[in-house]
Structure 1
Amino acid sequence: MGPPCPRCGRRAPAGGGPFCPFCGRYLAALRWVAEPPPGLTPPAPQPVRTRYTGPPRYRFLPRWGFPLGPWKAPEPQQARPDPLVAARTLVGSLVPLLWATAAVALLASGAEVWRYILLLASREGALQAEAVAASDSLVASSGTVAPILSLVVGVLTVLWTVRAAQAAADRAQVRPSRSPRMIVLGWLVPGLNLSIPGSVLAEIEHSAIGLPADRRPRPSRLVLVWWGLWVASVVLTAVVLLWSLRDGVQARADGVVLHAVLDLLAAVTAGVTARVVLRLTRLLAPAAPRRREVLMRVSPAPA
């Protein structure tokens, strides 16, 4: 008898062939073996034994390897600088320079007033050479120092505005309404500098106080006063520049008056700007209250 059929389980008689006579299944076990065709087997690599010639030598100094010096732990990744810290750092230089600008502008206004008084006095007689020389020196010196201080103060004010806007947005957990580039252009571009600086300061004050982000910012009286002074200063500056293009004695006399008014307005604007910067910075980073311990009485020790 042959092996049992894996399909029907019956045993086929011996010599019955490779197929089951009952169900017809092939009874022989199949095993497929894959072999490469003859002649295509790659030869085994033969190890090549070479003569030892010593350690490696280089014609040039190799650039790979460990750096010279002791091993140092990798430095931690630096975090983004805190805009509030940057704003408070700028305040330390900005506020004194603003007060210095106010003082120099006030001095320049006084020099222009003195020059106008000399112009009125010259209508009735000759002037003293010393008075004219002193007036010219005072006008020239104040007219040189004031623009330089104004330029430095302007750069610091723009930087402080950018940092303060970022700090206010971080405190309110919102995205800044204007990018730093837009804030800088708002300070510099004529026309935009009449509205964007005041709007930015109003938004900083709104976020620093902690008001809801969806509410329209309402600037305080101090910010409104600064806004009005700033607009008046920009407009009067344009008027003075256009007036300087005129010729004639009366135009020059009127130019002296305009310069005096402009310098006086610049002094007031610089002083109010210093107060606004200090107030907004203190709102963004209020100082911790100082506690002072006072000894009221001494209790006797228990027996």
Structure 2
Amino acid sequence: MNLRQLEILAAVVRTHSTIAAAQDLGMSQPAVSNSIKSAEASLGFLLFERVNNRLIPTPEAQVLLADAEHLFLMRDAVMQTASYLKAGRKGSIRVAATAELSESLMPQLISRFLQNHLGVDVSLETHRLDTVLNYVETGVSDIGFAMEPYPRPTLDQTPLATLDMVCAFSAKSELGRLQFVTPVDIDQMPMLKAGSGSRINKLIEEAFQKSRVAFNPSVDVRFMNVASYCVEQGVGVAIIDELTASCRPHTAMRTLPFRPRVQITLAAVSSNSRPQQRLVKSLVKYAREEISQRLRQVSKERSLKGT
């Protein structure tokens, strides 16, 4: 089964019709039908069942499409590269980052980078951690940025900074009288958890266990920057990283150091099967500088507040 047949299969699954799929692909309906029939003959099993005049994909077809997703991504990446070459641009760099870093780091980083790389095109994709790693692994992205990324044998991780976790709470909370916040201090308070199943959450859970306090968040969100917005609205308290906490003026939110201390690593992720291009190395250099500058500012502001 070739890539074109997979593309036709995906179109029919999406539209539930060979006619609609043909329109989307700029083909004739008979050509779409013949492609599906040819694929089924070569594979030896059906890809669709007809139910009430609608084409319903078989479980086998769904498995094929799931495995083919990275092929479509690779094709799109190749086509994008071809368009850059045709346009005669000086270069391009494809970046993937998690939502927290897309808000707290990437705008400043891209601005700093482009000031010294005029004519370079930057593409930023924002995804959950697993997708960021997949994009870098398959070559869809040249570089990824993530906090506490899971190790993979095909990927290299370049540590950029060690971040402290802080407790974020409403500016009206009595927690503001403390110098730091412990699990005991926020026991029984409504709590948010960001990124279920992540390594960061496991570290936080271990900190609660050390303090002999149950970690029972009542609200579960995917990203820590989303948790900070919820804190501002009075939903509860959250344990988030200091970079995310400092990315914008949270007028209705305050933060204090969290104890026992929990630290996480912010890293650049690249493929170890492809040499890093010059632009990627430069972006990583600027990322380290930007993060260092931001953390110095956070430390200065904390000192001024006496925390």
Place the TM-score, normalised by the shorter chain, in its bin. under 0.3
The structure with the largest helix share of the pair is 1
TM-score (norm 2): 0.22
The structure with the largest strand share of the pair is 2
The structure whose Rg is larger is: 1
TM-score (norm 1): 0.23
